[in-house]
Amino acid sequence: MRVAAPLTGLVAGLLVVGLFAVGPATAQTGAELPSDEDIVAAASILGLEFARGERDSLAIDLADQRASYEALRDGLVDNAVAPALRFDPLYWQPDLATRLAAAAALPDARASWALPAGVTRPDRDEDLAWLSVGELAALLRRGETTSVELTRLALDRLRDHDPQLHCVITLLEERALARAAAADREAAGGHWRGPLHGIPCGVKDLLAMPDAPTTWGAEPYRAQVRDEMATVCRRLDEAGAIIVAKLTLGALAWGDVWFGGMTRNPWNPEQGSSGSSAGSASAVAAGLVPFAIGTETWGSIVSPSTRCGVTGLRPTFGRVSRHGAMALSWSMDKIGPITRSATDAAMVLDAIMGPDGHDPTVQAAPFRAGRVDPASLRVGYLADLFATEEGAEPDPGKDLDRAVLDVLREAGVELIPVALPARDPYPMAIMLSAEAAAAFEDLTLSGRDDLLVRQIRNAWPNVFRAARFIPAVEYLQAARQRLLLMREFAAIFDDVDVYVTPSFGGGGLLMTNLTGHPQVVVPNGFLPDGSPHSVSFVGDLFAEDEVVALAALYQGRTGWHTRRPEGF
């Protein structure tokens, strides 16, 4: 590096009248200019090349920009502060936004729940742990169990099995038992809050609760207590659900490795549960809680739900408030339920969704779960992803996926072939990297990223560092490509209401996380090694009720979602 020469009178004059693109930091501080070699090297990293005269002109601007970066770093803000930009999946569809808002005000805009009939209490108390949310609600309504009993059962099972699964960060025993007793008193007095009343559950430990640590699964935040209540947790309280534990996540919402080790898959405890909603999926799969809350930015509900053989619902971006949740990507983060059935997932979503006055991305939209007739739906399938090429090796997973289509056809569903857009979504993933690096800039600048357990190339510390080299120009170009992808996806839903897809097929998982579309992932069988497999149903924006209706139809004709791993 070399120090800038004093500014000449001519250059200083140009600065004053604004004809020379140099900021005041350079004029006032004489900021150190980058060398020509540095500019050449930096441009090369970005795939650019500038002539010598162009580089000479760049030098002062680059020094000025660097001074701006340093000034911004002096005022680092908390993770909870979002940028003055926001993603809107309905951005270019204002007519749809208007229709949704109008429909949300209609009398039938909310879900309609009919608890299952003929539910009997199991002979063994431990079998209570495997009943669905609806079944437990039916028993609670009839007084055949109590919230205190179910809560003690969940707490005991979490304690008993956590040494094997490593799915719990904090047990909330005192709080949970107090709230369970209150729920029982309300029920005895004739006050029933809905299907979640008295049902124990867990939440992923990136949701803030002021009376417990919120660790984000990461060593630098192990003792962090945030003085706020996440909207999702508050709404679970208001619905009468009993939060019994804060469950594990891969550090800063990637993978299944956190500061306490690796969260395990109940179907194969030698294997991680995948992530990042690792503890939520593991705990539900092992029958430790009837449901849990997960989050997804790029597969963090779909992947662990697949690995652990449970049902996951990733809602539309803007359906559920992220207030009080750790921010990873402001334009991609979503919060949703992990359960043992699609109907259970709909019950949970109904309780946690909707505007809260804190998260400006959340929109009012109808959710008619329980009112949608699956026979009325136009159902597509990604035909090329279910096809087998001539001469290809046997693929047990693809066989399971094709069997799903057979079940739907037998149910009278006419399947319409559709295809994903040809656009490659992976270059757009730089948006996630850039936003995550901004959300956790303090770790990179302080060097505390070294405290994270995973220090390999494909882990956050390296991604945060590499993201420093993503130009703002390219971030915006990715955002423009993203809008085109949104338009292309809207065209799919001109022809169908829901489509069926292999859960990880054809880049669709990243595409729909970029466009904000909802997805329900359900188990559809087991591979030869005993591992659960899954299929997914994807719907139009804010059409989770339709997606759930089709998924429930499929689950009602199979039974994969009722299977239990041995030893739990």
Q: How confident is the model at residue 23 (pLDDT cuts 50, 70, 90)?
A: very low
Q: How confident is the model at residue 14 (pLDDT cuts 50, 70, 90)?
A: very low
Is residue 202 included in any domain, yes or no? yes
At 216, is the secondary structure helix, strand, or coil?
A: coil
Q: At 400, which helix (H) or strand (E)? A: helix 396-410
Task: Given the residues 132, 147, 204, 274, select the one marked as catalytic.
Answer: 204
Q: How confident is the model at residue 5 (pLDDT cuts 50, 70, 90)?
A: very low
Is residue 188 included in any domain, yes or no? yes
% residues pLDDT > 90 (the chain)? 89
Is residue 567 included in any domain, yes or no? no
Domain span holding position 61 = 9-73
Burial-class residue 105 by CB neighbours within 10 Å (0-12, 13-18, 19+): exposed
Residue 242 is part of a domain; what is its CATH number? 3.90.1300.10
- Do 378 and 346 have their domain in common? yes
219, 453 Cβ separation under 8 angstroms = yes
**Mean pLDDT computed over 479-495:** 97
- Nearest Cα neighbor of 489 from 85, 86, 92 is 92
Q: At 462, which helix (H) or strand (E)? A: helix 460-467
For 302, phi and psi rounded to 5 degrees? -60, -45
* pLDDT of 70 strictly over 70: yes
* pLDDT of 484 strictly over 60: yes
Is residue 418 included in any domain, yes or no? yes
**Mean pLDDT computed over 157-169:** 98
* pLDDT of 20 strictly over 60: no
% residues pLDDT > 70 (the chain)? 95
270, 363 Cβ separation under 8 angstroms = no
Residue-level pLDDT at 30: 63
For 194, phi and psi rounded to 5 degrees? 140, -175
**Mean pLDDT computed over 24-34:** 61
Please state, in angstroms and rounded to a whole number, the distance separating the CA atoms of residues 6 and 246: 58
- Do 267 and 318 have their domain in common? yes
Q: At 271, which helix (H) or strand (E)? A: strand 268-272
Other CB atoms within 10 Å distance of the CB of residue 117: 6
Please state, in angstroms and rounded to a whole number, the distance separating the CA atoms of residues 385 and 383: 5
* pLDDT of 392 strictly over 80: yes
Please state, in angstroms and rounded to a whole number, the distance separating the CA atoms of residues 500 and 521: 10
- Do 130 and 171 have their domain in common? yes
Is residue 446 included in any domain, yes or no? no
Rg (CA), the chain: 26
Which residue pairs from 419-424 have beta carbons closer than 8 angstroms and sit at least 24 positions apart in sequence? 419/382, 419/383, 419/384, 420/382, 420/492, 420/506, 420/507, 420/508, 420/511, 421/485, 421/488, 421/489, 421/492, 421/511, 423/481, 423/484, 423/485, 423/488, 424/507
* pLDDT of 451 strictly over 80: yes
- Do 173 and 274 have their domain in common? yes
At 564, is the secondary structure helix, strand, or coil?
A: coil
Is residue 416 included in any domain, yes or no? yes
- Can the peptide bond before residue 276 be classed as cis, meaning omega within 30 degrees of 0? yes
Between the alpha carbon of residue 445 and those of residues 63, 76, 463, 485, the distances in Å are: 19, 10, 14, 34
- Nearest Cα neighbor of 382 from 412, 402, 406, 399 is 402
Please state, in angstroms and rounded to a whole number, the distance separating the CA atoms of residues 536 and 451: 36
Please state, in angstroms and rounded to a whole number, the distance separating the CA atoms of residues 541 and 516: 7
- And the tokens for 247? 């469950």
414, 379 Cβ separation under 8 angstroms = yes
CA distance from start to end of the chain = 63
CA 500 to chain CA centroid, nearest Å: 20
- Nearest Cα neighbor of 508 from 388, 430, 419, 435 is 419
For the chain, what is the mean pLDDT? Answer: 93
Task: Given the residues 132, 277, 300, 341, select the one marked as catalytic.
Answer: 300
Other CB atoms within 10 Å distance of the CB of residue 387: 12
- Do 286 and 321 have their domain in common? yes
276, 527 Cβ separation under 8 angstroms = no
* pLDDT of 204 strictly over 50: yes
Residues 6+ apart with CB under 8 A from 58: 39, 50
- Do 56 and 195 have their domain in common? no
Burial-class residue 393 by CB neighbours within 10 Å (0-12, 13-18, 19+): exposed
What is the per-residue pLDDT across 528-548, written as a single tens digit (0 to 9) for each? 999 999 999 999 999 999 999
- Do 30 and 171 have their domain in common? no
Please state, in angstroms and rounded to a whole number, the distance separating the CA atoms of residues 492 and 133: 33
The stretches of 166-311 forming alpha helices (DSSP H) are: 173-188, 231-238, 278-285, 302-308
**Residue 204 annotated as catalytic:** yes
- Do 252 and 388 have their domain in common? yes
- Do 143 and 58 have their domain in common? no
Other CB atoms within 10 Å distance of the CB of residue 536: 29
Is residue 437 included in any domain, yes or no? no
What is the per-residue pLDDT across 400-450, written as a single tens digit (0 to 9) for each? 999 999 999 999 999 999 999 999 999 999 999 999 999 999 999 999 999
What is this structure's pTM? 0.93
Quickly tell me which residue has 């423009």 as its tokens: 480
- Nearest Cα neighbor of 60 from 92, 96, 21, 86 is 21
**Residue 276 annotated as catalytic:** yes
Please state, in angstroms and rounded to a whole number, the distance separating the CA atoms of residues 411 and 551: 12
**Residue 300 annotated as catalytic:** yes
Please state, in angstroms and rounded to a whole number, the distance separating the CA atoms of residues 271 and 253: 18
**Mean pLDDT computed over 208-215:** 96
- Do 47 and 151 have their domain in common? no
- Do 60 and 100 have their domain in common? no
537, 297 Cβ separation under 8 angstroms = no
Residue-level pLDDT at 13: 30
Is residue 291 included in any domain, yes or no? yes
CA 528 to chain CA centroid, nearest Å: 29
- Do 415 and 505 have their domain in common? yes
Q: How confident is the model at residue 155 (pLDDT cuts 50, 70, 90)?
A: very high
Any idea what DSSP says for residue 423? Answer: S
Task: Given the residues 132, 147, 276, 536, select the one marked as catalytic.
Answer: 276
For 344, phi and psi rounded to 5 degrees? -60, -45
Residues 6+ apart with CB under 8 A from 235: 351, 352
Please tell me the total count of domains within the chain.
2
